Amino acid sequence: MQHFYDGQIRRYITQMVRLMSNFSYKDGKGELTQVPVMYGDITRQVGHILRDNSENKIPSAPRIGVYITGLELDRDRLADASFVGKVHLRERDYDSVNNEYLNTQGKNVTVERLMPTPYKLTVNADVWSTNTEQKLQIMEQILMLFNPSLEIQTTDNYIDWTSLSVVDLDAVNFSSRSMPTGTESEIDVGSLTFSAPIYISPPVKVKKLGVITNIIMSIFNEDTGNVDLGATMPELKRYNDEFAEGVFQQDKDGTITRKDSAGLSVTAYNDYDVLVLGNTAQLIHKGIVGNTNWNGFFEALPGTFRSGLSQIQLTRADVNQSVNGTVAVNPTDESTLTINWDEDTIPSDMVITGSTGDRNKIDYIIDPLNFNPTTIKSVNGIRVLLLGPIGSATNTDGADAWKNNDGTDFVADENDIIEWTGTAWTILFDSSTQSDIKFTTNLNTGIQYKWTGSEWVKSIEGEYRNGAWRIQF
């Protein structure tokens, strides 16, 4: 093992010394004097130094001495020793000539942090005093801080997961003197015992990140057991702005083949799919949703991601243009992308003519078996999308709640859009006769739905295969 020394225990001692610093006492003249702090216990050699190697001089007091009394392995806090925490960092570029940081990106590195080893550090703080009044003043200032502990920070490096710790006051020995008091020492010593759970960390691994600019892929032939490197092997082609939709692959002979989004076979964006739900998006890799970090994904692509400015663009076979929205990574969940949709790119809702005029939106989506329509009959022109049928042509007496004001039965099918005219229900959208793709928005939730010809589905939400989406930096 190569030699390394980071001064970790020394930093904890330094923090303990700082913890005991800046206390003061008021002497008989009413003047405040700061109590000095040193590292080391009271030994005979230290005492001689403080007395200037003379038995005729009293050691300088008051004073606080800090020293370690114990350092032992904390087995209760042991964790998986093989765990490695990875952090991707982007440095600002540095101008070595002018000695200043620039507003451009510098090095990209990955820091691999190895699991640290937990220890329990025990430290004593001896308070030296020449009289009881001195001791009471100093002790009172120290003791009131611990209720029951204080937090210390050994470094301001934000990737150091061991920088924070706490200091607990375990015991107080008020005086070192015994009764009767002898003449051997004029200094009274009060001892405070502290403990702190600390970590000793091994060196981290720093790796330089590279940017993938080209991918070469070979296909294994199971029949012959050889690697096919023939002219028919497709090369990857990036999303092309010249085409509104679909995925494209370019063969070695230059031929561009167009493929629909339903039958994708070309790898794009590292073979990631994306799942869009409402105003969020998550990456899909190897069939697993949300196991990929968006920030790490962006770092592997050329270009600069800017939160709130970069766009996600979705291509669909039923829409002539891409559906776009500005994106930002969720700070509490980096696997989730928050989307602010561009309303101008959302598919247009169909216009339906009713008793109250032309409208392109509905008011509610309801299940007629679990909904009381009398609650909405007070509003003329209210429009409802049905999740189930109402009545039947063969039923001579339907549900009373769905009858018209003249007592006649109302019959409608599942997926129909109906309207209350004030006196009767009427069908505005007959699902049995509609085969073209249509869009409408639920005013109650703000969600847009698409009529596929057989059912209503959410228009934008769903899984987008690789090549049917991209990030515009």
DSSP assigned state of 328: E
Which residues, in sequence order, are CB contacts of 12 under 8 Å at separation 6+? 121, 152, 154, 165, 196, 198
Q: Mean pLDDT, to the nearest integer, of 393-411?
A: 82
Instruction: Out of 24-28, 40-44, 180-184, pick the least confident.
Output: 180-184
H/E element, 132: helix 132-143
pLDDT tier at 220, thresholds 50, 70, 90 = very low
Domain 8-72+118-198 indexed as CATH 3.30.2000.40: yes
Phi, psi values for residue 49, rounded to 5°: -65, -45
Q: Would you list the DSSP string of 180-202?
A: S--SS-S-EEEEEEEEEEEEEPP
Residue 40 φ/ψ region, left for φ over 0, alpha for ψ in the -120 to 50 degree band, beta for the rest: left
pLDDT tens track for 291-323: 888 888 887 776 778 888 888 988 877 777 788
Domain ranges of the chain: 8-72+118-198, 352-459
Phi, psi values for residue 312, rounded to 5°: -100, 135
Q: Mean pLDDT, to the nearest integer, of 367-381?
A: 85
Average pLDDT, the chain: 79
CA–CA distance, 334 with 289 (Å, rounded to integer)? 13
Residue 288, strand partner residues: 285
Q: Mean pLDDT, to the nearest integer, of 196-223?
A: 67
pLDDT tier at 254, thresholds 50, 70, 90 = very low
Q: Mean pLDDT, to the nearest integer, of 112-138?
A: 91
Of 84-98, 120-134, 203-217, 244-258, give the range with the top mean pLDDT.
120-134
CA–CA distance, 271 with 469 (Å, rounded to integer)? 11
Q: Sort 83 into a burial class: Cβ within 10 Å, 0-12 / 13-18 / 19+.
A: exposed
pLDDT of residue 334: 87
CA–CA distance, 40 with 65 (Å, rounded to integer)? 6
Q: Mean pLDDT, to the nearest integer, of 349-363?
A: 85
pLDDT tier at 171, thresholds 50, 70, 90 = very high
pLDDT of residue 104: 81
pLDDT tens track for 125-134: 999 888 888 8
Cα first-last separation, the chain: 45
